[in-house]
Structure formats: C-alpha cells, structure tokens
C-alpha cells in the first residue's frame, strides 16, 4: 500500500541536524527537478525579499519564511515526518506509533511537496515554505514542473498494491495515476454526514486518523474494494463509487457524524 499525503502549510523548525543532502532523498529520479526548484527558490529569497514574498504569497507576518528559504542549503535537516505538522499530522501521530507501525509508515507514506516533489517521512529535509500553487519566475507553475518527473518515478513507487490518495487538489495536480495504477487507486473525501459537506479541519483530522488506524492495525489492503471493507471493519461509514471505465480511480466518501 502506498499512501499519498499533502504536506502541511506550517512546519516545525529545522533544528541543528546535519544539512540537506539532496542525493539522499527517496525517489532519486526526482533529483534534477528538485535541484531546479531548490536553486531558484534559494536565489529568489536571497536576492529580493519583497519579490520573494509576493511570489510565495506570504503575508507580512510570514516575512521570516523568506530568510528561512534563503538558507535551505545550510539549514539543519530532520525527518520529514517531524517537519510536517498541522491537523492531519497531529491526528496521524507518527511519533507515538509503535515500532512496527513506524516501519509500515516509512514504507507506505509519501508526502507531496512543491519543493521536493515527494518525500518519504524518513527523508531528512529542512523546514521550508513553498506550496505547490507557487509559480516561480523561471520554472513557472510548480505543479506543471513536477508532472513529467512524477510520471517517470511514480508507477514504480506505486508498486503493485493499493494507492490511497489523500492529497488536496493542488498536490494531486502534480501527478495523476494513469492506466493500471489508476484502477487500484482510491481517492478519499471526508464529509460531515448531516450536511454532506467537506469541512477542512475534520477532513484533515479524519484522514490522519484513518492512516493511523491502518498502520496501527497492520492493514494493507491490496485494492480499493479491500480498502472499503477494511475501513468499515474499523468503524467508518464509507460510500464507494467504482470507476465507470478502466484507467480511473475509485472515489470513496467517508461520512462522519461529529466534527472534531
């Protein structure tokens, strides 16, 4: 099972670890594309703070993020699972998983990123600010920049099992499963059952809880139909829509009564 996650907007501090080693990151086929984004981002943020803030869409209160980006090559690096924070990652609670579940997380979780393309939770990265919606002056829209490299590496990363896609729309735009891989991919929405609306906070929290439950129980469904059965056994109310034709993912709605 491969689980595709969005990053968090806010991130923990880099700390005092050894600096980034780009060649050490997972999915080495993305190294060239990563270097291109990293190089332009560092140069932009080091040269012109105001322009960088405009390009990155940062408010006055987030001005310090520009300096953080300017120092990415020398900043301390930590496992991505410690860098990403926020509602989904709080609910996932990687640090509090038992040893076996942590090993499953290291194998199964892939976090998409405007800067790195995608990383494993064990990959060591510095804290940064660069969402997938950014359009860099040289490279252009980052989602478009990542599509071709992702098409090269992701089919192999997906293996032959389930792909559980929990990404938000901006990050899903960087890679869309195709063909046989799409047929064993399941996308998930979390809906407030009484209103059938998506509410951002509990949508993220519920996705984090779902991933934690699967990892903790050692459940690795082989296909979307098995995932639906597993989620129902875990106590979730799930509505599933199988694709109408080959080469399309399954669409799952998880219905939640209470917003928390």
Question: Got the DSSP string for 50-99?
Answer: HHHHHHHT--GGGTHHHHHHHTTTTSB-EEHHHHB-SHHHHHH-GGGS-H
Q: Where are the alpha helices (DSSP H) in the chain?
A: 31-47, 49-56, 64-70, 80-83, 87-92, 99-108, 142-158, 169-172, 179-183, 200-217, 224-233
Which pLDDT score, from 0 to 100, does residue 259 have?
59
Query: What pLDDT shows up at residue 10?
Result: 84
- Interatomic CA distance for residues 30 and 119, integer angstroms: 10
| DSSP three-state, residue 200 | helix
Mean pLDDT estimate for the chain: 95
Number of domains in the chain: 1
For range 11-25, the mean pLDDT:
91
> What is the per-residue pLDDT for 193?
87
> Tokens 């997972």 identify what position?
26
pLDDT at 239 over 60: yes
- For residue 72, which of 145, 146, 130, 136 has the smallest C-alpha distance? 130
Report the range of poorest mean pLDDT among 72-76, 154-158, 237-241, 246-250.
Answer: 246-250
The answer for 236, left when phi > 0, alpha when psi is -120 to 50, beta otherwise, is: beta
Note down the domain range covering 221. 2-256
Q: Give 163's strand partners.
A: 2, 185
Q: How confident is the model at residue 198 (pLDDT cuts 50, 70, 90)?
A: confident
Q: How confident is the model at residue 260 (pLDDT cuts 50, 70, 90)?
A: low
The answer to whether residue 76 scores a pLDDT higher than 70 is: yes
Which of 259, 121, 112 minimizes the C-alpha distance to 199? 259
Percent of the chain clearing pLDDT 90 (strictly above) = 90
Instruction: Indicate whether 218 pLDDT > 90.
Output: yes
pLDDT at 245: 86
Q: What is the mean pLDDT of residues 10-25?
A: 91
Q: Crossing angle of helices 31-47/142-158, nearest 10°?
A: 150
Higher pLDDT, 58 or 247: 58
Q: Percent of the chain at pLDDT above 70? A: 99
Q: Which tens digits make up the pLDDT trace of 120-169?
A: 999 999 999 999 999 999 999 999 999 999 999 999 999 999 999 999 99
Q: Is residue 200 scored above 80 in pLDDT?
A: no
Residue 220: strand, helix, or coil: coil
The pLDDT value given to residue 194: 85
């Amino acid at each position: 099972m491969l689980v595709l996650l969005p990053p968090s907007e806010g991130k923990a501090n880099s700390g005092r670890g050894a600096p980034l080693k780009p060649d050490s990151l997972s999915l080495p086929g993305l190294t060239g594309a990563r270097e291109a984004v990293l190089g332009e981002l560092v140069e932009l943020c080091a040269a012109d703070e105001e322009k960088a803030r405009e390009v990155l869409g940062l408010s006055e209160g987030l001005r310090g993020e520009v300096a953080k980006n300017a120092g990415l090559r020398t900043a301390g690096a930590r496992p991505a699972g410690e860098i990403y924070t926020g509602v989904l990652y709080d609910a996932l609670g990687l640090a509090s998983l038992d040893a076996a579940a942590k090993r499953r997380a290291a194998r199964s979780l892939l976090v998409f990123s405007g800067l790195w393309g995608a990383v494993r939770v064990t990959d060591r990265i510095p804290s940064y600010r660069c969402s997938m919606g950014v359009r860099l002056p040289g490279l252009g829209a980052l989602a478009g920049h990542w599509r071709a490299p992702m098409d090269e590496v992701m089919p192999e990363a997906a293996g032959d099992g389930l792909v559980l896609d929990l990404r938000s729309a901006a990050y899903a735009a960087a890679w869309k499963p195709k063909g046989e891989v799409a047929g064993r991919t399941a996308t998930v929405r979390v809906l407030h059952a009484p209103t059938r609306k998506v509410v951002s906070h509990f949508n993220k929290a519920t996705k984090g809880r779902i991933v934690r439950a699967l990892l903790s129980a050692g459940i690795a469904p082989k296909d979307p139909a098995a995932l639906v059965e597993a989620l129902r056994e875990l106590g979730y109310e799930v509505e599933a829509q199988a694709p109408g034709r080959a080469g399309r993912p399954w669409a799952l709605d998880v219905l939640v009564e209470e917003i928390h």
